[in-house]
Chain A
Amino acid sequence: MSEDTQQRVTFEGEEAHAGYASPMLDLIATALLIALAGAVMIASVALPVPDTLLTAPGLLPFLVSASLLLLAVGLGVSAVARWRSGTALPMLDDRDLATDFKSLGLAVAVAIYIASLQVLAFRYDVVLGGFRHTISAFEPVTIIALAVIITMFWRGAIWITALICVCWTALLSLVFQHVFAIPLPGSF
Chain B
Amino acid sequence: MVDAILSALAPALVVMSLCGVCLGIVWGALPGLSTTMAMGLLIGLSAGMPQDIAISFMLGVYTGSVFGGAISAVLINIPGTPDAVPTMIEGHQLAQRGEGGQALGMSIAASFVGGMVGIALLIALIPLILTFALNFKSWEMFWLAIIGIMVAGSMAAGSMPLKGWIAGWIGMLIAFVGLDAIHAVPRFTFGSFALYDGISYVAVLIGLFGMSEILRTLPAKDLPTIPSKVGRIIPPLGKLARFLPSALRSGTLGAFIGAIPGAGANVASFLAYDIGRRRANPDEKAKWGKGSYEAIVCAETANNANIGGSMLPTLALGIPGNAAAAALLAALTLKNVVVGPTIEIDHPGLIYFIYASLIVANLIMYVAAFALIGPCVKLFSLPRGILMPLILPVCIIGAYAVKLSMADVWIMFAAGVFGWVLSVFRFPTAPIVLGVILAPLADENLRRALLVFEDKSIGFILSQWIGTVLMVAVFVVIIEGVMRALNVLRKRAEPLSESPPATSS
User: Is B159 part of the contact surface with A, judged by Cβ < 8 Å?
Assistant: yes
Output the least CB separation between A26 and chain B (Å): 7
- With contacts A85-B496, A153-B384 taken as known, whether A71 is within 8 angstroms of B165 at the C-beta atoms is yes
Count chain B residues whose beta carbon lies closer than 8 angstroms to a beta carbon of A.
Answer: 104
Q: Is the CB of A78 within 8 A of B427?
A: no
Q: Is the CB of B385 within 8 A of A85?
A: no
A64 to B396, CA, bound (A): 31
Please name the residue on chain B nearest to A10 by beta carbon: B78
Output the least CB separation between A53 and chain B (Å): 9
A1 to B273, CA, bound (A): 9
A56 to B447, CA, bound (A): 8
User: Is B390 part of the contact surface with A, judged by Cβ < 8 Å?
Assistant: yes
Q: Is the CB of A14 within 8 A of B430?
A: yes
User: Is A118 part of the contact surface with B, judged by Cβ < 8 Å?
Assistant: yes
* Interface window among B32-40, B108-116, B230-238, B349-357: B32-40
Please name the residue on chain A nearest to B211 by beta carbon: A110
Please name the residue on chain A nearest to B171 by beta carbon: A64
Enumerate chain A residues within 8 angstroms of B341, measured Cβ to Cβ.
none
Q: Is the CB of B409 within 8 A of A185?
A: yes
Enumerate chain B residues within 8 angstroms of A29, measured Cβ to Cβ.
425, 427
- The contact size tier of chain A is 35 or more
Enumerate chain A residues within 8 angstroms of B169, measured Cβ to Cβ.
64, 67-68, 71
Output the least CB separation between A70 and chain B (Å): 10
Q: Which residue of the partner chain, among B31, B162, B383, contacts A74 with CB atoms under 8 Å? A: B162
Enumerate chain A residues within 8 angstroms of B430, measured Cβ to Cβ.
14-15
Output the least CB separation between A141 and chain B (Å): 10
Q: Is the CB of B454 within 8 A of A106?
A: no
Q: List residues of B (440-489) whose CB comes within 8 Å of A's CBs.
A: 442-443, 446-448, 450-451, 454, 485, 489
User: Is A125 part of the contact surface with B, judged by Cβ < 8 Å?
Assistant: no
A3 to B265, CA, bound (A): 22
Output the least CB separation between B146 and chain A (Å): 10
A147 to B392, CA, bound (A): 12
- With contacts A72-B166, A74-B162, A110-B392 taken as known, whether A9 is within 8 angstroms of B420 at the C-beta atoms is no
Q: List residues of A (67-97) whose CB comes within 8 Å of B's CBs.
A: 67-68, 71-72, 74-75, 78, 81-82, 85-87, 93, 95
Q: Is the CB of A57 within 8 A of B386?
A: no
Q: Is the CB of B493 within 8 A of A85?
A: yes
Q: Which residue of the partner chain, among A65, A82, A95, A149, contacts B389 with CB atoms under 8 Å? A: A149
- With contacts A142-B393, A153-B219 taken as known, whether A64 is within 8 angstroms of B429 at the C-beta atoms is no
Q: Is the CB of B393 within 8 A of A153?
A: no
A19 to B157, CA, bound (A): 5
Q: Is the CB of B162 within 8 A of A11?
A: no
Q: Is the CB of A18 within 8 A of B426?
A: yes
- Please classify the interface of chain B as helix (H, G, I), strand (E, B), loop, or mixed, using the class held by over half of its residues: helix
Output the least CB separation between A131 and chain B (Å): 19
Q: Which residue of the partner chain, among B88, B159, B166, B188, contacts A9 with CB atoms under 8 Å? A: B88
* Interface window among B44-52, B120-128, B244-252: B44-52
Q: Is the CB of A19 within 8 A of B396?
A: no
Q: Is the CB of A20 within 8 A of B383?
A: no
A53 to B165, CA, bound (A): 26
User: Is B131 part of the contact surface with A, judged by Cβ < 8 Å?
Assistant: no
Q: Is the CB of A61 within 8 A of B88?
A: no
Q: Is the CB of A13 within 8 A of B34?
A: yes
Using an 8 Å CB-CB cutoff, how does the interface string of B182-211 with A read, 1 for contact, 0 for none? 110101100000000000000000001101
Q: Is the CB of B397 within 8 A of A40?
A: no
Output the least CB separation between B114 and chain A (Å): 20
Q: Which residue of the partner chain, among A60, A149, A169, contacts B442 with CB atoms under 8 Å? A: A60
Please name the residue on chain A nearest to B216 by beta carbon: A103
Q: Is the CB of B223 within 8 A of A180?
A: no
Output the least CB separation between B53 and chain A (Å): 10
User: Is B363 part of the contact surface with A, judged by Cβ < 8 Å?
Assistant: no
Q: Is the CB of A114 within 8 A of B396?
A: yes
Q: List residues of A (130-188) whose CB comes within 8 Å of B's CBs.
A: 138, 142, 145-146, 149-150, 153-156, 164, 168-169, 172, 176, 180-185
Using an 8 Å CB-CB cutoff, how does the interface string of B412-436 with A read, 1 for contact, 0 for none? 0100110010011111111000000
A44 to B451, CA, bound (A): 19
Q: Which residue of the partner chain, among A1, A2, A146, contacts B392 with CB atoms under 8 Å? A: A146
Q: Is the CB of A103 within 8 A of B215?
A: yes
Output the least CB separation between A122 and chain B (Å): 14
Output the least CB separation between B398 and chain A (Å): 9
Output the least CB separation between A9 and chain B (Å): 6
Enumerate chain B residues within 8 angstroms of A72, measured Cβ to Cβ.
166
Q: Is the CB of B78 within 8 A of A169?
A: no
Q: Is the CB of B446 within 8 A of A59?
A: yes
Please name the residue on chain A nearest to B159 by beta carbon: A19
A-B contact pairs, 30 of them (CB 8 A): A1-B289, A5-B289, A12-B79, A12-B223, A13-B81, A13-B82, A14-B36, A14-B323, A14-B430, A16-B82, A19-B157, A21-B426, A29-B425, A60-B447, A64-B176, A78-B489, A81-B489, A85-B496, A100-B219, A107-B420, A114-B406, A117-B396, A118-B406, A153-B218, A153-B219, A156-B385, A176-B45, A182-B47, A183-B404, A185-B400
Which 5 residue pairs are nearest across A and B when measured between Cβ atoms? A154-B385, A102-B219, A18-B428, A153-B385, A57-B180
Q: Please list the residues of chain A having a beta carbon within 8 angstroms of any beta carbon in chain B.
A: 1-2, 5, 9-21, 25-26, 28-29, 33, 36, 40, 43, 47-48, 50-52, 54-61, 64-65, 67-68, 71-72, 74-75, 78, 81-82, 85-87, 93, 95, 99-100, 102-103, 106-107, 110-111, 113-114, 117-118, 138, 142, 145-146, 149-150, 153-156, 164, 168-169, 172, 176, 180-185
Q: Please list the residues of chain B having a beta carbon within 8 angstroms of any beta carbon in chain A.
A: 31-32, 34, 36-37, 44-45, 47-49, 77-82, 85-86, 88-89, 156-160, 162-166, 169-170, 172-173, 176, 180, 182-183, 185, 187-188, 208-209, 211-220, 223, 266, 270, 273-274, 289, 323, 383-386, 388-390, 392-394, 396-397, 400-401, 404, 406, 409-410, 413, 416-417, 420, 423-430, 439, 442-443, 446-448, 450-451, 454, 485, 489, 492-493, 496
Given A50-B183, A57-B182: 7 more A-B contacts, CB < 8 Å: A10-B78, A13-B79, A15-B429, A51-B183, A71-B165, A180-B48, A181-B48
